[in-house]
Chain A
Amino acid sequence: MHDGGRPVLEVQGLKTVFRVRGGEIHAVNDVSFDLKPGELLGVVGESGSGKSVTMMSLLGLLPSPPAEVRDGKVLLDGQDLLKTDEDTLRDIRGGKVGFIFQDPMTSLNPVFTVGYQIMEPLRKHMGMDKKAAKARAVELLELVGIPGAAQRLSDYPHQFSGGMRQRVMIAIALACDPKVLIADEPTTALDVTIQAQIIELMKELRQKLGMAVIWITHDLGVIAGIADRVMVMYGGQVVEHAPVRELFGNPQHPYTKALLKTVPSVRGERVRRLTIIEGQPPILGAPPSACPFRDRCGSAVDECARRNPSRTAIGKGHDVACVLVEQKEAAHA
């Protein structure tokens, strides 16, 4: 639905490592993706798969040291963010790119009013005076559906409920009309009814404002309902990438298949036990020289230990990084 148009964000070969005592941890390994204007890209994977680190790397939000973005290109409107200086990056953060984080209970500063926190980026990036920023802040709170917006500006975060605080976070992220919104598990910390409200709000806002969204989550149900495209990450790399219907209808990577199986269903026969994927995601001390999923993969073959498969296109907008899929494709050709 959002085909065509130059991508607003292009990431190529991103590599991020953390320097730790006695070595390095390779958290992001050769990640590439793009984001078209107005599109919603879902990023899924379990904890430790490198989803958040990837997105934080884009705009230098990781503490350095220990983090170091070692390689790659991050093109936002054609400008390489990894090569710009800190000042420019700072203007982009909260300006062209907005962020929403997981826990709204701790993401707002408890000692400043909500109004102050919304007005802060407006005054810095848009150069608004106090009056204009205040008017815009009221507008933003109304936009995210907070009743009595004008009165609530002088309230402190603790006077809001969890869902309302996440709405405030969204208002802050949207303050300067960002082109890209990075939402890092924005609904994980909320209870289910509030979660649904926030998702509805995001859908509505995306249509109204036309920004592109990167939505990081480990909740496949959320992704199915909101994303245009999905990127599955494992071991700091992209293992499968496809339009949302294709991914849920025709998953190819064993990890994606396993992930989809873990979603409990209320339909059909009552499951005896919930499905799990045995084992832990790997902690990579070196760039992976083999498929990172092989130890937990039910269908691993010898070749999986010999090389790390690269992403192979298998259909329109669908690519997979798996030795088995490569072999199957080769047999077809």
Chain B
Amino acid sequence: MLTYTIRRLILAVPTLLFIALVIFLLLELAPGDPMAEMPLTIPPEVKEKMREALGLGQPWYVRFYLWLYQFFIVEPQYWIDGLFGTNFADGAQRIISFQSRSPVFNTIAERIPQTLWVVGMSYVVGVIIALPIGIISAVRQYSWFDNFGTFISMVGFSVPTFFTGVLLIVIFSVNLGWFPSIYDTTLKVNDWPSFVKQLKQMAMPVFVLALYNAAQISRFMRASMLDNLGQDYVRTARAKGMTEKVVVLKHVLRNSLIPVVTVIALGVPQVFGGAIITEQVFKVNGLGQLLIIAIHGNDVPMVLTLTFIFAVLIVVFNLIADILYGVLDPRIRYD
């Protein structure tokens, strides 16, 4: 398993470099000018100077190389310096956003907590409610619980989040006034009332996204359980005199979780990607929103860096899913 993991990690390096190149070239080929939003009163010569100041006068391979150098060498140095108070970076040039003129990673660090709180929490909540629903739906197939669950997941699956989100805002914020419709990022949680306030402002976006996640995962869980409930080993377990609880929650569940855990692991990068639409609807200034703004502003370093981070997460969680598969299923050995 260890050699497999190391091999996969080494293989990931050329994969990621290639992904970085593709993203870079795509952005390079895309039309757009970072100076487009500058006032028209600025003379063209000045604009040209500003472009050169941003490094845009260099050929693409030089810019690509510099970005790689900054991403893999300079930024980690700054990170280590920040952690241990050392001075590896020594004032080297960081990746700077075209829009805000501040380091890209500082902005990302500001945005991550909101995304993790809202989108991450919705994923956790989604998984926690999806698993039991999937299990019960499979064990009591075609019961009223199963039918109800099927209906709810169909709704969660097919109704877009921008609809459920707005619907919830209309009902609970506008009409009932129970929850705020705008997520307040400046809120600091330091006592009980502020914690309640945080919970309140998280409630609706988390619910909207959790419904969507739970709908997907509970279907997976149910299908996987049904697959396994019909297997011969289940009859063997019953013939051994095991209680239904042991049969279902031990023999069947352990087998059913194998594909579901993989699906859950593969879904994690999406959490970091933020839920672009839901973040927009509830005005959560997370990573999804950041990416949209950066795209609108032709902020190439920001878009490139964010997209590349998502790519890294996807590659890493693919690897994690594969390793989990091997851990859970003894039939799969990678060495």
Given A106-B232, A108-B233, decide whether A120 and B242 contact each other with a Cβ distance below 8 A: yes
Determine if B232 and A99 form an interchain contact, defined as CB atoms under 8 angstroms apart.
no
Chain B window 207-248, contacts with chain A (Cβ cutoff 8 Å), 1 for yes, 0 for no? 000000000000000000000000111011111111100000
Q: Are A93 and B241 in contact (CB under 8 A)?
A: yes
Q: Is A124 among interface residues, defined by CB-CB distance under 8 A?
A: yes
Q: Is B330 within 8 A of A99, CB to CB? A: no
Whether, in the assembled complex, A109 has its beta carbon less than 8 Å from a beta carbon of chain B, the answer is yes
In the complex, which residues of chain A have a beta carbon less than 8 angstroms from the beta carbon of B231? Answer: 106
Q: How large is the interface on B (under 10, 10 to 19, 20 to 34, 35 or more residues)?
A: 20 to 34
Q: Provide the B235-271 mask, 1 if CB < 8 A to any CB of A, else 0.
A: 1111111110000000100110010000000000000
Most buried by A among B232, B255, B258: B232
Contacts of A107 in B (CB 8 A): 232-233, 235-236
Within 8 Å of chain A (Cβ to Cβ): is B28?
no
Q: Known contacts A112-B254, A156-B330: does B241 contact A124 (CB below 8 Å)?
A: yes
Tell me if B101 is interfacial: C-beta within 8 Å of chain A. no
Q: Tell me if B331 and A93 are in contact (CB < 8 A).
A: no
Interface status of B329 (Cβ within 8 A of chain A) = yes
- CB of B232 within 8 A of CB of A101, answer yes
Measured in the bound complex, the distance between the Cα atoms of B331 and A112 in whole Å is 10
Bound-state CA distance A110–B238 (Å) is 16
Are A94 and B239 interface neighbours, CB within 8 A? yes
- Quick check: B238 and A93 within 8 Å, CB to CB? yes
Dominant SS among interface residues on chain A: mixed
Chain A residues positioned under 8 Å from B240 (CB to CB): 93-94, 99, 120-121, 124, 172
Select one of B235, B242, B243, B255 contacting A110, CB under 8 A: B255
Residues on the A chain within 8 Å of B239, using CB: 59, 61, 93-94, 98-99, 101
- The yes or no answer to B328 lying at the interface (CB within 8 A) is yes
A110, B241: Cα distance in complex, Å: 19
Q: How far is the CA of A39 from the CA of B294 in the complex (A)?
A: 82
- Give A166-184 interface residues, CB cut-off 8 Å to B: 169, 172
A71 to chain B: which residues have CB within 8 Å?
Answer: none
- Scoring A residues 116 to 133 as 1 if CB is less than 8 Å from chain B, else 0, what string do you get? 000011001100000000
CB contacts (< 8 Å) of B238 on chain A: these are 61, 93
Within A206-263, the residues touching B (CB, 8 Å) are: none
In the complex, what distance in Å separates the CA atom of A112 from the CA atom of B240?
15
B330 touches A172 (CB 8 A): no
Q: What string of 1s and 0s marks CB contacts (under 8 Å) between A147-189 and chain B?
A: 0000000001010000000000100100000000000000000
Q: Could you give, for residues 89-112 of chain B, a 1 whenever the CB lies within 8 Å of some chain A CB and a 0 otherwise? A: 000000000000000000000000
Residues B255 and A101 in contact, CB atoms below 8 Å apart: no
Say if the beta carbon of A284 comes within 8 Å of chain B.
Answer: no
Cβ B329 vs Cβ A110 within 8 A:
yes
Tell me the minimal C-beta distance from B289 to chain A in angstroms: 42
A92 within 8 A of B: yes
Q: Name the residue on B nearest A172 (C-beta).
A: B240
Instruction: Decide yes or no: A111 and B329 within 8 Å by CB, A169-B236, A172-B236 being known contacts.
Output: yes
- Look across to chain B and name the residue whose beta carbon is closest to the beta carbon of A87: B243
Cα(A311)–Cα(B240), bound, Å: 34
A50, CB-defined interface residue at 8 Å: no
Complex contact A103–B232 (CB within 8 A):
yes
| A109 B241 Cβ-Cβ under 8 A | no
**In the complex, which of the residues B235, B241, B255 contacts A121, with contact meaning CB atoms closer than 8 Å?**
B241
B330 touches A94 (CB 8 A): no
**Which A residues are CB-close (under 8 A) to B251?**
109, 112
Give the Cβ gap from A199 to chain B, nearest Cβ, in Å.
Answer: 21
Which of B233, B241, B330, B331 is within 8 Å of A95, CB to CB? B241
B-binding residues in A (CB < 8 A)? 59, 61, 90-95, 98-99, 101, 103, 106-112, 120-121, 124-125, 156, 158, 169, 172
A and B contact pairs by CB, cutoff 8 A, 12 listed:
A61-B235, A61-B239, A94-B242, A99-B240, A108-B233, A108-B236, A109-B236, A111-B330, A124-B241, A124-B242, A156-B330, A172-B236
